A and B are shown apart, each in its own frame.
Chain A
Amino acid sequence: MEKRYYQPEIETMPHEQLRAMQSGKLVKQVKHVWEHCAPYRRKMEEMGVTPDDIKGIEDLHKLPFVTKSDLRDEYPYGMLSVPSSECVRIHSTSGTTGKRVIAYYTQHDVDLWEDCCARAIVAAGGTKEDVVQVGYGYGLFTGGAGLHGGSHKVGSLTLPMSSGNTERQIQFMMDLKSTILCCTPSYAAYLGEALKEAGYKPEDNSLKAGIFGAEPWTEEMRRDIEASLGIKAYDIYGLTETSGPGVAFECEAQKGMHINEDHFLAEIIDPDTGEVLPEGSKGELVFTSLDKEAFPLLRYRTRDICVLDRTPCACGRTHVRMAKPMGRSDDMMIIRGVNVFPSQIETVLLNEGYAPNYQIVVDRAKNNDTLDVYVELSPEQFTDTVSGITAREKALAGAMRTMLGIGAVIHLVAPKTIARSEGKAVRVIDKRKLHD
């Protein structure tokens, strides 16, 4: 396997050395928030913890958790831990699940974030010879800015396309011979479809790799995208709260995403009890930033359910790998008492030969949860008889029941009637919340 790193001394740092580095940084980070961030200090005081209790990463569990609602409560300035004159930028969450979270960055914070993204680009084969098409949204969303900055650090030619405007994306991709595409996986799938419709074959473009993240996607979707664009598709992970994409990224081994542990310390906890679980357990991912200045995070609960893997990776990186999150504990729907993740529904659709364009509607009728899945029918799947279409609905409903353990009502709908994501897809509409 070809070894390619952006910061080899950090990315392949021996484990003991990495731990020592993390411990030193954590002690400083805790001191920094204690002195400069009132909400953290208050939380620590409530638990009777002071910076003196934190001597290294073995003491991490003594610190309080912080949740998304804690960050929202402090909107807009509460979590700012440096004078605003030291900040050079903000980004913000989409606010789809409530009030926005504003994240602040000093130049140091931007640099470390862009370094993380540069590592992801290099791992995907990026060099200064590459043309990186950034199709993530630019603006408050971190996707565009993160990969844009990372691409600059690598020295690649950066195409700041932002999201949407598919015709222009295709024109630039072809005319400027983009080699690496960065966007959401659903948009990558959509671009694949659009290229096919425009009469291009997968080998007609110059792309060799794609870096896709910011929404959940499945292995089936990866294979789909890889085939339709003729590339290797790499996963990238991040949250606005931690800085943005690049907290973790996939290497050429494509067996989990390496967490940039020199900047972000990961834990897995039991989402119900908050107890730290042994490595290799499935649970909620928690991040502590180690050297952020403006918007540090102590034990931030991501709501993402996943597993960490510290076994050696073929790529030579020593940083721990996280599995693709199985779903967010936020996304997880409890339907008739059963845990259902949208990613499971997507897997069934792809297995059954449908495009991953769907919408899930959960509702309650007569005190019973209902699950309806709207799925786009493709021209090849359309028949002229009602029985032909209802037979397809039945087959799909059967496959859903097998995967989910509960029944779903399938509605086949006309192509392109479900809103496409050029940013983030609204996959789930839970109407039960409106009734409660």
Chain B
Amino acid sequence: MAIKQLTVFVENRQGALVEITDLFASYSVDMRALSIADTQDFGILRVIVNDTAEALRILHSKGYLVQATDVIAVKISDTPGKLSSALHALNVAGMNVEYLYAFLARTQRHAYVVLRVADNAAATSVLEDAGFHMVSEEDIKKL
């Protein structure tokens, strides 16, 4: 149950990020989750939005280096140790997590964790078998 993440190459200079967030704002693109990986030279912005196709189109038209990446998202209750048990499940199954980032839901006492793994389908079944609820594109839109 993969969901689409937008991955954007961001130059490491002042104002580079705000140009992207301004762009989203002006087209009313709503961000659900985001993370930035940075190095000395560049950053990689990973973002989940309400309308991936539209955001992709906008970024392309402005000449950004952008890619839609399949990731998975899992819903976990907002209590200590829950993320650990999800990661344990993957670890036991021999699955490596490339990166992850989490966000809290506004109303419910839940957290959502976005995971980048090599095999989305396999990781999904491992997590589902461990009793976790996976989040779909539809769920994300409703958040």
Contacts and interface: CB of A to CB of B under 8 A. Distances in A.
Contact of B65 (A379, A386, A390, A411): A379
Contacts of A411: 41-42
A413 B42 contact: yes
Nearest to B64: A414
A297 B66 CA distance: 54
A415 B65 contact: yes
Contacts of A379: 65, 67
A412 B69 contact: no
Given A415-B63, A417-B11, A384 B116 contact: yes
B65 A377 contact: yes
B42 A384 contact: no
Interface string A374-409: 000101001111100110000000000000000000
Interface in B41-75: 41-42, 44, 46, 63-65, 67, 69
Interface string B8-31: 010100000000000000000000
Secondary structure at the A interface, as helix, strand, loop or mixed, is loop
A409 to B, nearest CB: 9
Interface residues of A, number: 16
B5 A384 contact: yes
B105 interface: no
A366 interface: no
Contacts of A417: 11
A389 B7 CA distance: 13
B9 A414 contact: yes
A385 B98 contact: yes
> Most chain-A CB neighbours within 10 Å: which of B9, B37, B64, B98?
B9
Contacts of A414: 9, 11, 42, 63-65
A386 B64 contact: no
Interface residues of B, number: 18
Contacts of A385: 37, 44, 98-99, 116
Nearest to B16: A414
A379 to B, nearest CB: 6
Interface string B89-124: 000000000110000000000000000100000000
A416 interface: yes
B39 interface: yes
B42 A412 contact: yes
Contacts of B37: 385-386
Nearest to A381: B65
B64 A384 contact: no
A389 B42 contact: yes
Contacts of A415: 63, 65
A414 B69 CA distance: 18
Contacts of B11: 413-414, 417
Interface string A323-344: 0000000000000000000000
A-B residue pairs, 10 tightest by C-beta: A384-B7, A384-B69, A386-B37, A411-B41, A382-B65, A414-B65, A414-B9, A414-B11, A385-B98, A382-B67
Interface of A: 377, 379, 382-386, 389-390, 411-417
Given A385-B98, A386-B44, 7 more contacts: A377-B9, A382-B9, A386-B37, A390-B39, A412-B41, A415-B63, A417-B11
